[in-house]
A and B are shown apart, each in its own frame.
Chain A
């Protein structure tokens, strides 16, 4: 069977599975819709959390980013796993004991304030939509490359599937589909990684293969060979960083704290039966996540090595098929600067910006480019996103592995999109309508509004996927920075500082939020030409500024709360109550 037919088969089978699960697990009450009835087993919730968390960015982009950045890519590995330690130790058990439906619920009740709830809802919606746009782009890429359909059609099919299980099943449907999606995505990630590890080092465990000796008789380890190869081509060595230590520190912290503060992740811990299950479930989630996250650096190093070795000094006429396929998609560009018909790959950009193709082909049959070439000897532009997707082809793996990667990429993107869309619809129907604007609505009406909100959110996400705003890549820093600077401190203080009052926390959230927002907007949009380390505050980039926003939040919250009156007695009792695991019961509605 051809790879294309296999891909249709795999993707079709996985979609059928998701829809089957959705029909089996329809939600009948708001509790089922919001928190899956509160009875999800910790291991199932761990898998669902892992699928929820590992997005198109983790599956498709992360290894590619690490392949290009080397050591500097560690910030993503550390940040996106270390946050789970904070989540398990500092937030999840207490929020589970609190036992309600949403993150704004907690902030609204703990700080006895409608204003605090609304601020939290605004943060949540902004964070979630920023994130969801990236998922839809991932769906589009996979569809257009592997199924050779138009991106628009791809996004609409993806949206249709999410629509069925998110609108029908709510959290219950999403949870069990995410369990299936985790299995699909981890299998799809591991199989090619194991194959490639065996091919390059003879060791079937990628985590060990990364440190093993390359099986080419050179006697060098993978990393040593990569360092040497890249140095020869004028790159800096793979295992050494080029970012300033303070910036690496700040970015890692912002990603960790932001991870712990992301509403779609936190809300997963509302679905387990007990407080101790919330802790356990976070542990399982991190095991399932770590499986992919410890494999990714191996995939990254193998891919970079493979890429350099197959492409550099190969004539275009003899270049492998994947090179031309991805050129067709627009993620690879080659400009034959010295007109020798041979591909030269080296440090530096081949030309300014991303490729803009002309209608004519070059002398060797390559797609013509209208970009102005740079002085660098490098002739190749390669989008980072292709590394995971093209890796099986680069390593000449069989067609079914390639088909599997397509199904895995879609599972990763759709599971995260569904989780995000759910928290958006929940915070609209529950926090905005039921708790603020229309407190008189019945449960049945609230459920209907939740479904309508989910449908609308899917529509918006689909629109963003088909017409991706140019700034998607730039605003990813927003999601983590804002979560770190606003939601995380507010929740943490709510649990650990009994004296914290609404004045303190609102002032803290707003100052963290405004500071971080303004800093990112200034360097990304207002004056992007100033976006370099000499102009940054203490050498911290917009990606890491959430760390400073968080510290500012804490500082302001403490100062303001000391100057104002302590929270009322019933709130202090609430804090005492959430600190003790006894008597959590199931997630209740009130």
Chain B
């Protein structure tokens, strides 16, 4: 329920952006709709790239950071009988990878619904 409310209010926000841009144009012809669609796609793409960027930073930090570059430092600590760095390298990173993909699946669905470009 919450999610839907959130989605619709964001949609409103979107509509107001286009309304604003539309004010500068003389008429609401075919060309206008094309521009509108291009804007939606551009904003959708930007939202996608922002999400991608965030998730890939996490991907990099757990695998190349925790498991490789800082492994010796983390190995000073221990977790459930594992040296922490070793755990990240042979267990933890893999769990995070799975989580990242599902976060992306859910968030992308939300973004696509918001911009009306989903495939349902």
Contacts and interface: CB of A to CB of B under 8 A. Distances in A.
Interface string A548-561: 00000000000000
B89 A78 contact: yes
A274 B95 CA distance: 26
Given A82-B93, A89-B101, A276-B118, A579 B45 contact: yes
Contacts of A224: 81
Given A286-B101, A290-B98, A239 B83 contact: yes
Contact of A84 (B48, B71, B79, B101): B101
B81 A213 contact: yes
Contacts of A280: 105
Contacts of A279: 101, 104-105, 108
A81 B97 contact: yes
A249 interface: yes
Interface string B73-86: 00100011111001
State which size class the interface on A falls in: 35 or more
A85 B98 CA distance: 8
A174 interface: no
A57 interface: no
A252 B52 contact: no
A293 B97 CA distance: 12
A252 B118 contact: no
Given A85-B100, A89-B52, A252-B63, A275 B94 contact: no
A78 B97 CA distance: 9
A276 B101 CA distance: 12
A89 B94 contact: no
A239 B55 contact: no
Interface in B65-120: 67-69, 71, 75, 79-83, 86-87, 89-91, 93-95, 97-98, 100-102, 104-105, 108-109, 112, 117-120
A297 B94 CA distance: 12
Contacts of A294: 90-91, 94-95
B41 A580 contact: yes
In this complex, the member of A283, A576, A584 whose beta carbon has the largest number of chain B beta carbons within 10 angstroms is: A283
Contacts of A282: 101
A282 B108 CA distance: 14
Contact of B44 (A208, A580, A584): A580
A492 to B, nearest CB: 12
B13 interface: no
B64 interface: yes
A283 B93 contact: no
Given A211-B87, A221-B81, A276-B109, A249 B52 contact: no
A126 B63 CA distance: 29
B88 to A, nearest CB: 9
Contacts of B87: 211
A210 interface: yes
Given A82-B63, A211-B87, A582 B119 contact: yes
Nearest to B115: A580
Contacts of B41: 576, 579-580
In this complex, the member of B48, B118, B119 whose beta carbon has the largest number of chain A beta carbons within 10 angstroms is: B119
Contacts of A85: 55-56, 59, 97, 100-101
A78 B63 contact: yes
B89 to A, nearest CB: 4
A211 B104 CA distance: 30
A78 B55 contact: no
10 contacts: A71-B71, A77-B93, A78-B93, A85-B55, A85-B56, A85-B59, A211-B79, A222-B81, A223-B82, A239-B83
Interface of A: 66, 71, 73-74, 77-78, 81-82, 84-86, 88-90, 93, 207-208, 210-213, 221-224, 239-241, 245, 248-249, 252-253, 256, 274-276, 279-280, 282-283, 286-287, 290, 293-294, 297, 576, 579-584
Interface of B: 41, 44-45, 48, 52, 55-56, 59, 63-64, 67-69, 71, 75, 79-83, 86-87, 89-91, 93-95, 97-98, 100-102, 104-105, 108-109, 112, 117-120
Given A77-B89, A293-B94, 11 more contacts: A77-B90, A77-B94, A78-B93, A88-B105, A211-B79, A212-B81, A213-B81, A241-B71, A249-B68, A276-B120, A283-B105
Closest CB pairs A-B (n = 3):
A211-B81, A74-B89, A221-B81
